[in-house]
């Protein structure tokens, strides 16, 4: 992880997360994150997802129930991985795990092409 100063006066800095091969991307750090650990973790989490998506063209992490990419979302003061579910009452949106609390390390998910 790397913090970089911004050249934009409205943005304090960027946080970047690198892959093992040195490729990286990043996102803007919310100026209020210095006083809010959830916002700081959200910036790092977003940067990690941005790096995987842009460098590997994959979703990460993927919900093991719905085979969909998850997104960080604050829930009860904790940053968690949120899954959109299958847009049906039988498989609704849900919180999968706290960020940092997934059951096991998962490899980034490869996009699958649907045959029609």
Q: Are residues 46 and 7 in the same domain?
A: yes
Q: Are residues 63 and 116 in the same domain?
A: yes
Question: Do 1 and 44 form a contact (C-beta atoms < 8 A)?
Answer: yes
- pLDDT class for 79, splitting at 50, 70, 90? very high
List beta partners, residue 27: 15
State percent of the chain over pLDDT 90. 10
Q: Are residues 84 and 111 in the same domain?
A: yes
pLDDT at 33 over 70: yes
pLDDT at 84 over 70: yes
Show which of 56, 74, 89 is a domain's final residue. Answer: 56
Domain that residue 43 falls in: 1-56
List the structure tokens of 79: 């940053």
Q: Are residues 19 and 44 in the same domain?
A: yes
Tell me the pTM.
Answer: 0.69
pLDDT at 52 over 70: yes
- pLDDT class for 80, splitting at 50, 70, 90? very high
């Amino acid at each position: 992880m790397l913090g970089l100063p911004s050249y934009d006066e409205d943005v304090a800095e960027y946080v970047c997360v690198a892959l093992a091969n040195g490729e990286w991307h990043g996102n803007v750090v919310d100026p209020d994150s210095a006083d809010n650990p959830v916002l700081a973790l959200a910036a790092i989490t977003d940067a990690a997802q941005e790096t995987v998506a842009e460098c590997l063209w994959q979703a990460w992490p993927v919900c093991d129930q719905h085979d969909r990419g998850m997104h960080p979302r604050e829930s009860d003061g904790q940053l968690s991985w949120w899954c959109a579910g299958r847009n049906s009452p039988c498989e609704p949106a849900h919180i999968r795990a706290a960020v940092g609390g997934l059951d096991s390390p998962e490899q980034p998910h490869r996009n699958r092409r649907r045959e029609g």
